[in-house]
């Protein structure tokens, strides 16, 4: 288990079964970046589960907006979030990297380095890396379009539209599954 930023934890599945960890860290939100994994503590936490396989052809970019929204709303309310998949290496790491890229306005490479310093097993598969690089371009475009907006609110619909345009251009080199 790794604390990535305040209130945001990243782990493999084993931590998701640890009741003592959930209670000690006051985990109240869990994002499972994998299909067919059990939600162990539904009485303690709100879950979001992504129907996602860990292979380079899986389209992870289509889950970025809903994941960013889920994580950001929880962290904004100072709730503790656990993001996990089976191994805590590729899927969950990619989701956390996407979140950091967007919220901190940093590149894929900087976000990967940031996560690796805190979670040494971080290693998105090649397809997810390509999609994170495509997402970086979406973020740049998003920031340009929002530069005159002083409200500070996140326009998830705009971000989703930009991702959809990138996906149509096959920037992520992944087929939708």
- Give me the percent of the chain exceeding a pLDDT of 70: 94
User: What local confidence, expressed as pLDDT, does residue 109 receive?
Assistant: 98
Region 101-106: what's the mean pLDDT? 97
pLDDT value at 170 more than 80? no
What are the Cα distances from residue 42, in Å, to 19, 29, 48, 50, 82? 11, 10, 11, 16, 13
pLDDT value at 93 more than 50? yes
pLDDT value at 177 more than 50? no
CA distance 89 to 10: 9
Q: Is 6 exposed, middle or buried (0-12, 13-18, 19+ CB in 10 A)?
A: exposed
Region 75-99: what's the mean pLDDT? 97
Q: What is the pLDDT of residues 111-123, one digit of tens each?
A: 999 999 999 999 9
User: What local confidence, expressed as pLDDT, does residue 29 receive?
Assistant: 98
CA distance 16 to 114: 23
User: What local confidence, expressed as pLDDT, does residue 168 receive?
Assistant: 67
> Which one has a higher pLDDT value, 2 or 177?
2
CA distance 79 to 70: 11
User: What local confidence, expressed as pLDDT, does residue 169 receive?
Assistant: 63
**CB–CB of 128/112 below 8 Å?**
no
Taking all residues of the chain, what is their mean pLDDT, rounded to a whole number?
93
User: What local confidence, expressed as pLDDT, does residue 152 receive?
Assistant: 82
pLDDT value at 43 more than 60? yes
Q: Is 137 exposed, middle or buried (0-12, 13-18, 19+ CB in 10 A)?
A: middle
Q: What is the pLDDT of residues 44-66, one digit of tens each?
A: 999 999 999 999 999 999 999 99
Eight-state DSSP code of residue 18: -
User: What local confidence, expressed as pLDDT, does residue 125 receive?
Assistant: 97
Sorting pLDDT into bands at 50, 70 and 90, what band is 150? Answer: confident
**Residues 6 or more apart in contact with residue 78 via CB below 8 angstroms:** 7
What does residue 49 show for φ and ψ, rounded to 5 degrees? -125, 130
- pTM for this model (two decimals): 0.92
CATH fold of 2-168: 3.90.190
**Residues 6 or more apart in contact with residue 119 via CB below 8 angstroms:** 2, 4, 10, 88, 93
> Which positions are annotated as active-site residues?
85
């Amino acid at each position: 288990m790794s604390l990535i930023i305040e209130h945001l934890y990243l782990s493999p599945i084993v931590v998701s079964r640890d009741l003592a960890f959930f209670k000690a860290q006051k985990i109240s939100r869990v994002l499972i970046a994998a299909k067919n994994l059990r939600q162990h503590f539904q009485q303690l936490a709100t879950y979001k589960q992504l129907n996602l396989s860990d292979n380079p052809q899986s389209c992870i970019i289509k889950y970025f907006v809903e994941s960013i929204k889920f994580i950001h709303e929880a962290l904004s309310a100072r709730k503790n979030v656990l993001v996990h998949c089976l191994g805590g290496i590729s899927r969950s790491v990619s989701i956390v990297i996407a979140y950091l890229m967007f919220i901190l306005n940093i590149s894929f490479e900087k976000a990967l380095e940031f996560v690796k310093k805190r979670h040494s097993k971080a290693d998105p598969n090649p397809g997810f890396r390509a999609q994170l690089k495509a997402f970086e371009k979406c973020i740049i475009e998003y920031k340009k379009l929002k530069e005159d907006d002083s409200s500070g609110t996140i326009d998830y619909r705009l971000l989703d539209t930009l991702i959809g345009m990138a996906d149509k251009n096959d920037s992520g080199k992944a087929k939708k599954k």
